[in-house]
Amino acid sequence: MINIQSLTFSYPSGEFQLDIEKLSVASGEKVAFIGPSGSGKTTLLNLVAGILPLQNGSIKVDNDEISALSDTARRNFRITNIGFIFQDFGLLDYLDVRDNILHPYRITSALKLDSGVQGRADMLAEQMGIADKLLRHPSDLSHGERQRVAICRALLTGPKLILADEATGNLDPKNKLHILELLFESVKSHGATLLAVTHDQELLPNFDRVVNFNDFLQGEAI
């Protein structure tokens, strides 16, 4: 699914250099990225998503070389193949829950919003237990509910890859586990691959694999 080779990346400020000799993630695998803040976990997610330009090396997602894609193709690839889940949920306050879930379809011509998509959004909301909150605004929801909305949005396009950046970081312990279970179930049912950045040691046993970014900072290959 994901093949990373000879990747090096550094910011102009030179705060750190990410150095990954080789990293492979199989399709359907659930991988946790751990490591201290500033070790490059979010940077790698952004590189895989094509948000940050690759400086050296190669990242292939399903045999598509990310760096070889044009800007437009990379954006279209991202919106159709990758689902993002953010620590602060990344929901828009001025849209109700339904419109937040459907949001990716309204910001690109690569996706077509039709009744089928709307039905799928309702179904996802049903699965996530927020079907009765579709007309509410994010500010009316609890943190747990907001993250469920964000998961629905990430899954709606049927992505091959889910990138979760501290997705449970803002949740209480009970909600954390519950949301993670929901996420795993959804990922599994959609046949997607999950790359999740987390600082929470308790959640690690639930993942198929844990990648420690301290290893990359030392330049070791996995």
Q: Does 26 bind other proteins (CB under 8 A)?
A: no
Q: From the list 106, 188, 202, 214, which residue makes contact with other proteins (rule: CB under 8 A)?
A: 106
Tokens of 95: 């849209």
Q: Cβ closer to other proteins: 71 or 174? A: 71
Tokens of 166: 């501290």
Binding piece for other proteins, criterion CB under 8 A, among 91-99, 128-136, 173-181, 211-219 = 91-99
CB contact at 8 A, 27 and 205: no
Task: Restricting to residues 154-213, name those near other proteins by CB under 8 A.
Answer: none
Residue 65 gets which letter from DSSP? E
Q: Does 113 bind other proteins (CB under 8 A)?
A: yes
Residues touching other proteins, count (CB under 8 A): 28
CB contact at 8 A, 155 and 102: no
Task: Restricting to residues 29-48, name those near other proteins by CB under 8 A.
Answer: 46
Q: Does 135 bind other proteins (CB under 8 A)?
A: no
> What residues have CB less than 8 Å from 63, skipping those under 6 apart?
none
> What residues have CB less than 8 Å from 155, skipping those under 6 apart?
83, 124, 162, 186, 190, 192
Site residues, other proteins (CB under 8 A): 46, 49, 51, 71-72, 75-76, 78-80, 82, 84, 86, 90, 92-95, 99, 103-108, 110, 113, 137
